[in-house]
Amino acid sequence: MVRTSRTSRIGLGLAIVCCYVAALPATSSAASWTAARLVPDAGFEESSSSAARWTTEGPAGAVSVVSSPVHGGQGAARLADTSATDGVSLRGEHLAASPGEELTASAWTDRVSGQGGYLYLEFWNAAGARVAAFSTAAGTSTGWQQVTVRGVVPDDAVTATVLAYSDVADQGTTVWDDVAVATLPPPSRRVPNAGFEEPREGTRPTEWTVSAPGGSATVVTSGAHSGKRALKIADTSSSDEVSALSRAVPVTAGETVTASAWVSGTNGTLYLEYRRSDGTRIEPPTAVNVGTAGGWKKVTAAAVVPSGATTTTVRLYSTQTGTGTTTWDDVVLRSSQDPGYAEAVGTGPVLFVGDQRVESSTGLTRTVHPGTKTGDPALASVGAGVVLDGGSWDKNPRLSGTVLPAPGGGYRMWYTAADTDCGYCTGYAESTDGVHWDRSAETHSVYSYAPGGVVADPAPTGPRYYMLHSHGPGSPQSNHYYAAQSTDGKTWTELNSGNPVINGWDVVNVTYDPDTSRFVAMTKQYPVDYAANTRPAGPRTVWMSTSTDFVHWTSPKPSFAADLRDDAAITDPAPSGHARWSEVYGMPAIRYGEQYLGLPWVFDITDSPTTLADPGPDKGRQHVGLASSQDLLTWSRPSLGDVVAPGAAGTWDWGWDMTGTTLLTVGDQVRLYYAAFAGQHSCSDTDVTAGLCTKPFGNSRVGLVTWPKDRFESFHAGTGGGSVTTRTLSPAGTGLTVNVAPGSGSLKVEVLDAGGNPVPGYTADDATPVTSDTLGTAVRWGTRTTLPAGPLRLRFDLTAGDLYSYTIS
């Protein structure tokens, strides 16, 4: 996930700050990725008197709908700017946007007089602030012409808008019509720290390898193409080069990979390299010179992955014979294997956790609902929500770990514990109800390594349970993950003859996806020499691997990382005056209905004494967020709310929260087990005295939070209500149910065709209002109870309350 953020503002009395985004070279594979987004009232046909669903700013009468000239249909929007000091704007409704998604906005315009104005593509964060804006001038030609602008959604944006705008200093009239937005979904292959926003190593580009015999390569905090940082390569030698090499990203022979980067300067080359499994480069690489044009420009290199290649790297390079300074930013990989938007919808619940199936919304806000702490009453004095306290031999029970239903009823828990013989072991407990836990049958750990999740074979013919684990910090084998198996959950043996099954370090979270019959491992990968068992260095991020047999796993791919929104959301002070930033310590990925839910453990670092080496001593608190994905590689997280509310200072779960690997549905309730330390990571009494942190790490416990089914996150309607429209859906089922708490209001569901037009018989006027608080009420349109054939869209009109999910079965 590229960490990006841009602050730019236009017009309405403010200075224009914008940039033109050049188009990618057209390729046959790119065409197959592109899909149309639905722009409400794109042709200005809904009203003959005003631009419906558009917001205007400017003097009264400055924006009007006219019947001539028009590019298509019966109407067009006319912007008449009569002021030399103020502009006129016409802004469309907000479209849902996912980080890394590339949007292309276009409109037809006819200049009547003046300079013609601009077409803008704007990006907005969850607080409603604009964080990026890209524009193209319409030009001074007369007659209808199409104007296009393109931009990539930054990580701190959740929506996008199209804006037609007249220049502040210009006076003139321009007519606009037939607005369209096309999308390239977020790429499935990412270069770690592609925007150079990771602050861990200061001026050194984290997760890039620098070779600088001819000068230097440093991260700068001014003059970036987007966000706060960029990489400046200064070449002062006419005989030596400077280069920055990315981490390797897995690829498959035969796919076409396109690497692009934004660059300012004239002495540089973008290399797309392919490498064998031993890391050697396959010659020759694909190289593209940055050219002689000034200002920011996009450089692109593409090539088919050759036979024998397993990974790709990107190299930013200054030539040996040239000198000068070149600034690089926003590196992107795209592949012919990148998936497009998937219209197909199964019969499970579709949650409003992410925006990957959301087209647009208006009048609604996103709210994450923390689970209700549901502890063992006998442990109420220990803390709210606690279900497992320290015992006679396991003083530090915690998760990562797993709770699963037992074959004969009740539940089994595998958790991390500190035994007398090992610091990171597997503890085991049983429960009849999932709240009251008994471990009296065990007086010792059941396995000498801590669980990175336990999964159950859905149809066991041999061992029932499987576990991934590391060998713990400090072990000579700690640079790898290992697999184990058990028939009863208590006696464990190594798989794969005790050899590693995945490279990686420290935390791993493994789950099972019944929809694809795959095991899913979310791991931590550091840029280290795994064969040499060197200590880790660099930031904590999450990488994804899958397996069908628990022994042979796919090469880990970058999946999830913290972004600038997380950094900005840190509220804890840095007692030492240290810079603050966030990383992701771990993240289970759990199949839930029609999506995967990610539970990122967001580590807010307020002191890091070893930024260029082992991150283990980092200090700070940790909290648990919520994200959604269709493919385990691209994630949507429109809200940063916590699913587990940290306790007040001094309570058991104030400091450092983490979760188990399962979301258990018990009747109409969903359960998540979590663990916490009362204090800050790696904080000791000595550190507190030294002013490096405020609360020692302390001991850990295991707790439980619960929700009514599906109610993790919602669209909330305040005064005046609002609506949310889905992207196109091709459902397997025909009956629609909704999970909604409308309060004093109601919910109506309107069915639209793929083009956004109401389907006769399924309009809002036909819909029967849902007025009760329900976990699953069938939607009706008069006597109709089944949906028409897809593809279709759903528009939910909510006058009050919260909308959580829908199911088509």
Is residue 528 very low, low, confident or very high in pLDDT (cuts 50, 70, 90)?
low
- Please state whether the peptide bond connecting residue 69 to the residue before it is cis, i.e. omega within 30 degrees of 0: yes
Torsion-angle region of 754 (φ positive above 0: left; ψ -120 to 50: alpha; else: beta): alpha
pLDDT at 346: 96
- Tokens at residue 324, please? 């000068």
Q: Is 777 exposed, middle or buried (0-12, 13-18, 19+ CB in 10 A)?
A: middle
Report the amino acid identity of residue 298: K
Summarize pLDDT for 743-755 with one digit per residue, the tens. Answer: 999 999 999 999 9
Residue type, 339: P
How many alpha carbons fall within 13 Å on the CB side of residue 297? Answer: 17
How far apart, in Å, are the Cα atoms of 115 and each of 80, 169, 237, 281, 653? 12, 10, 46, 51, 60
pLDDT score of 473: 61
pLDDT of residue 155: 83
Q: Is 655 exposed, middle or buried (0-12, 13-18, 19+ CB in 10 A)?
A: buried
Asked whether 452 and 553 are in contact (CB, 8 A), the reply is no
Confidence tier at 443 by pLDDT (50, 70, 90): confident
pLDDT digits over 654-683, tens only?
999 999 999 999 999 999 999 999 999 999
| DSSP symbol at 634 | S
Rounded distance between C-alpha atoms, residue 485 and residue 463, angstroms: 6
Instruction: Report the b/e string of 267-299 with b at 16+ CB within 10 A.
Output: bbbbbbbbbeeeeeeeeebbebebeeeeebbbb
pLDDT band at 476 (very low <50, low <70, confident <90, very high): low
Supply the DSSP symbol for 156. T
Please give the single-letter amino acid code of residue 501.
Answer: V
- Residues 770-786: pLDDT tens digits? 999 999 999 999 999 99
Q: What percent of the chain has pLDDT over 90?
A: 80
Per the DSSP assignment, residues forming a β-bridge with 494 are 484
In angstroms, how far is CA 353 from the centroid of its own chain? Answer: 11
Mean pLDDT, rounded, for 413-428: 87
User: How many CA atoms are closer than 13 Å to the CA of 307, on its beta-carbon side?
Assistant: 0
Would you say residue 20 has pLDDT above 50?
no
Query: Does the pLDDT of residue 523 top 90, yes or no?
Result: yes
Give whole-number Cα distances, 708 to 346, 405, 742, in Å: 22, 19, 15
- CA–CA dist 131, 101 (Å, integer): 15
pLDDT digits (tens, 9 = 90+) for 289-305: 999 999 999 999 999 99
**pLDDT tens track for 63-115:** 999 999 999 999 999 999 998 888 899 999 999 999 899 999 999 999 999 98
Q: What is the pLDDT of residue 535?
A: 64
pLDDT in tens, 690-737: 999 999 999 999 999 999 999 999 999 999 999 999 999 999 999 999
pTM for the full predicted model? 0.92
Which of these, 628, 750, 793, 634, lies nearest to 38 by C-alpha position? 793
pLDDT given for residue 6 in this prediction? 29
